[in-house]
Amino acid sequence: MDLQSIKNRFGIIGNSPSLNHALNVAIQVANTDLSVLAVGESGVGKEVFSQIIHSLSARKHNSFIAVNCGAIPEGTIDSELFGHEKGSFTGAVDSRKGYFETVNGGTIFLDEIGEMPLGTQARLLRVLEAGEYIRVGSSKVQKTDVRVIAATNKELLEFTQTGRFREDLYYRLNTVPIRVPALRDRKEDIPVLFRKFAVDFADRYKTTPVQLDEDAKTMLMNYPFPGNVRELKNLAEQISVLAKDKQITARNLQPFLPETNPNRLPVLAGGNGSVSHAEFANERDILYKLFFDMKKDVTELKRMFFDMIQNPGNFNHAPVFSAEPMLPDYQPIAAQQGIMQTGNPAVVINHKGADIHQHEEIDESLSIMEKEKELITKALKKHKTKRKDAALDLGISERTLYRKIREYGIEE
Rounded mean pLDDT of 87-102?
89
* 3-class secondary-structure state, position 295: helix
Q: What is the pLDDT of residues 6-63, one digit of tens each?
A: 999 999 999 999 999 999 999 999 999 999 999 999 999 999 999 999 999 999 999 9
Name the architecture of domain 3-181: 3-Layer(aba) Sandwich (3.40)
Q: How far is residue 282 from each of residues 12, 190, 279, 385, measured CA to CA in Å?
A: 26, 20, 9, 22
pTM: 0.62
Q: Indicate where the chain has its CATH 1.10.10 domain(s).
A: 367-412
pLDDT tier at 310, thresholds 50, 70, 90: low
Task: Please state which of the ranges 69-73, 105-109, 263-267 shows the lowest mean pLDDT.
Answer: 263-267
Is a pLDDT exceeding 80 seen at residue 326?
A: no
Backbone angles phi, psi at 347, to 5 degrees: -135, 135
Rounded mean pLDDT of 154-174?
94
Element (H, E) at 307: helix 283-309
Task: Please state which of the ranges 130-134, 292-296, 349-353 shows the lowest mean pLDDT.
Answer: 349-353
Confidence (pLDDT) at 384: 83
Burial class (CB in 10 A: 0-12, 13-18, 19+), 134: middle
* 3-class secondary-structure state, position 409: coil
Q: Output the 3-class SS for 155-180.
A: CHHHHHHCCCCCHHHHHHHCCEEEEC
CATH code matching the domain that covers 184-256, chosen among 3.30.70.2190, 1.10.8.60, 3.40.50.300, 3.40.50.720: 1.10.8.60
Q: What is the pLDDT of residues 354-400, one digit of tens each?
A: 444 444 444 444 557 777 888 888 888 888 888 888 888 887 887 78
Determine the CATH number of domain 367-412: 1.10.10
Q: How far is residue 166 from each of residues 48, 100, 177, measured CA to CA in Å?
A: 26, 20, 17
Burial class (CB in 10 A: 0-12, 13-18, 19+), 148: buried
Q: Indicate where the chain has its CATH 3.40.50.300 domain(s).
A: 3-181
Q: What is the pLDDT of residues 255-308, one digit of tens each?
A: 999 876 544 444 444 444 444 333 444 455 556 556 666 766 777 777 776 666
The alpha carbon of 221 is separated from its chain's Cα centroid by a whole number of angstroms, namely 22
Confidence (pLDDT) at 371: 77
Confidence (pLDDT) at 201: 94
Confidence (pLDDT) at 295: 66
Is a pLDDT exceeding 50 seen at residue 345?
A: no
